[in-house]
Amino acid sequence: MASYFPRIGIVGSGAVGTYYGARMALAGADVRFLMRGDLAAVRARGSIVIREQAGTTELKAVKAFGSAAEIGPVDLAVIGLKTTSSSALKGLVQPLLGPQTALFTLQNGLGADEFLAGLFGAGRIMGGLVFMAITRTGPGEVRCFHPGMVSVGEFGGPPIARTHGLVALLKAAGMKAFVVDNLLEARWRKLVWNIPFNGLSIAQGGITTDRICSDPRLAGEARGLMLEVQRAAAGFGFMIPDGFVKKQFDVTPPMGPYQPSSLVDYLAGREVEVETIWGEPLRRAQAAGVEMPLLASLYARLRALCPGSPAG
């Protein structure tokens, strides 16, 4: 498969990293997976398993490694780690860097791009906004509830040749992918869904998205949070259309009893990305003079429920 990125490394082989890496590898890309807990199981089985509505697909002969040093320099490093693991990124990414290596982060919320730019240089950083419902169901196994799409942008600048090259690669791998002109605006758009559904699923004791949508009170709160995000984005000059906000709610009921990624972490006793998804957007909005009372209340509830998440 001819590509702008001949060799690709996946850092963080959880639900999103595994899915994207496997899809690109199935399309013929040279993909190397950095795995930790899943390594032994994947090597023993000899494959990565993807389950979708259309059926089950296996990526055989997986190139899985236990350290970044074993992988060596790559042309593109895809970062699928949660932002709660950011302290480990320098050691995990540094061995993958060559002179022209690009870093493509699929991390949630606000602040991840700036953090990576501080570590490795702003010129390397690209961001991806994943509008998909993907869950890790076992070692090297993921289930896609909703295929969705991914938006790709450059940190701190307009699209360039590599931006279009990456989108072409993702499309060749069977995914809906689009170039965005402004990465930060795209991040605010993703928060329209992430803030209400990831947050309320935890705050309401561990419920799936279908229960939020079917409960009039919770559905109203979810819609109110979406509108707050829309107003906050406008405070930075990012105009999110009403139709986009409506669609983010409308696509959710067909997902069925979906557990958002933050709820999966919460139920498993793992640290939740409280600050990047809820805390940092709230702080930025307030600094810009935009009040978000529903988000402030939700953030306070999540801080109480997720004490392991460090304050921003």
What single-letter amino acid sits at 69? Answer: A
Q: Are residues 241 and 162 in the same domain?
A: no
Q: Is the dihedral of CA 118, 120, 121, 124 positive or negative?
A: negative
Q: How far apart are the first and last CA of the chain?
A: 43
pLDDT, residue 227, reads 98
d(CA 292, CA 84): 24
pTM of the model: 0.90
Total number of domains constituting the chain: 2
d(CA 102, CA 243): 34
pLDDT, residue 290, reads 97
* Banded pLDDT at 310 (limits 50, 70, 90): low
Q: Are residues 189 and 176 in the same domain?
A: no
Domain holding 238, by residue range, is: 185-305
Domain presence at residue 310: no
d(CA 204, CA 221): 12
Check 60, 63, 176, 190 and give the catalytic one: 190
Domain presence at residue 2: no
Q: Specify whether 190 is catalytic.
A: yes
pLDDT over threshold 80, residue 259:
yes
Which residue in 3, 52, 57, 50 sits closest to 31, CA to CA? 3
Q: Are residues 58 and 40 in the same domain?
A: yes
Which residue in 153, 142, 187, 149 sits closest to 13, CA to CA? 142
d(CA 312, CA 84): 12
- The residue among 181, 197, 232 that closes a domain is 181
d(CA 48, CA 140): 5
pLDDT, residue 1, reads 45
Length of the chain measured in residues: 312
CATH number of the domain residue 68 falls in: 3.40.50.720
Q: 68-111, pLDDT tens digit by residue?
A: 999 999 999 999 988 888 889 999 999 999 999 999 999 999 99
CA angle 227–228–229, rounded 5-degree value? 90
Domain presence at residue 39: yes
Which of 1-10, 25-34, 41-50, 92-101 has the weakest average pLDDT?
A: 1-10
Q: Are residues 25 and 166 in the same domain?
A: yes
Q: Are residues 165 and 59 in the same domain?
A: yes
Q: Are residues 124 and 192 in the same domain?
A: no
Q: Are residues 215 and 258 in the same domain?
A: yes
Q: Are residues 122 and 256 in the same domain?
A: no
- The residue among 140, 161, 181 that closes a domain is 181
- The residue among 181, 209, 238 that closes a domain is 181
Q: Are residues 47 and 163 in the same domain?
A: yes
Q: Are residues 141 and 22 in the same domain?
A: yes
Domain presence at residue 1: no
What single-letter amino acid sits at 306? Answer: C
Which of 162-171, 193-202, 300-309 has the weakest average pLDDT?
A: 300-309
